[in-house]
Chain A
Amino acid sequence: QSALTQPASVSGSPGQSITISCTGTSSDVGGYNYVSWYQQHPGKAPKLMIYDVSKRPSGVSSRFSGSKSDNTASLTISGLQPEDEADYYCSSYESGSSYVFGIGTRVTVL
């Protein structure tokens, strides 16, 4: 149950695109198509942004997209906006009926 690896921070200017990576192992990210992504603003609860690697819940902007290759999943935010500034966490189901989260990435809009 080791945490998934994410960059500590990513930044971009308004309108740009950024990508956050999430690296695990064949026992979690690489073994299942059950990667999800969460956005968390300071003092708030996390919010589901992407599930099952690339699906968007109703109400989530199409500027958010997800993908996966081998043991690494990615979240891309297109057309970066000031309200996108937040912490982002990936999560994956892992063998043994448990879940693992990433360490979190702070997104800064310059």
Chain B
Amino acid sequence: QLQLVESGGGVVQPGRSLRLSCAASGFTFSNYAIHWVRQSPGTGLEWVAVISYDGGVQYYRDSVKGRFTVSRDNFENTLYLQMNSLRADDTGVYYCVREPCRASCFNFDFWGQGTLVTVSS
């Protein structure tokens, strides 16, 4: 059974850091590119970042470049998102999302249940 389970969310003050994790099971994790997508009431769904199947390539949305880092451990079947210098507009539910191939499928075929990040003083 396919599973993506996010963890690590919580309430954090502006300027602080947080690391999210996503544990994968039920499929061969190392065969798929994985994305982070966030959702907040004010802005709907927003793509955040992607990492290639082998971890060699990462891309980010402009507003998080230089602050967020996506990484993966294919031995532990886990994806990470290190978030530094957090801002109020980073608030939202963060989803771990699978792209249905190693690279360049351009869609998202399976989503985790998400973890809530709230940036507030």
User: Do residues B44 and A45 form an inter-chain contact, with CB atoms below 8 A?
Assistant: no
Is the CB of A1 closer than 8 A to any CB of chain B? yes
* A71-110, CB < 8 A from B: 89, 91, 93, 97-104
Number of interface residues of A (CB under 8 A): 24
Tell me whether B1 is interfacial, beta carbon within 8 Å.
no
Residues of A24-77 at the interface with B, using a CB-CB cut-off of 8 Å, are 32, 34, 36, 38, 45-48, 51-52, 57
At the interface, yes or no: B92 with Cβ under 8 Å from chain A? no
A34, B95: Cα distance in complex, Å: 21
Nearest B residue to A33, CB-CB: B106
Interface of A is mostly: strand
Residues of A near B37 (CB, < 8 A) are 101
B107's contact among A45, A48, A97, A100, by CB below 8 Å, is which?
A48
Can you list 17 A-B contacts (CB < 8 A)? A1-B62, A1-B63, A34-B107, A36-B107, A45-B112, A45-B113, A45-B114, A51-B106, A89-B44, A91-B47, A98-B60, A99-B47, A99-B106, A101-B45, A101-B47, A102-B44, A104-B45
What is the 8 Å Cβ interface bit string for chain B, positions 44-79, against chain A (1 contact, 0 not)? 111100100000000111110000000000000000
User: Are B61 and A98 in touch, CB under 8 angstroms?
Assistant: yes
Q: A51 to B100, alpha carbons, bound, how many Å?
A: 11
CB atoms of A91 and B111 under 8 A apart: no
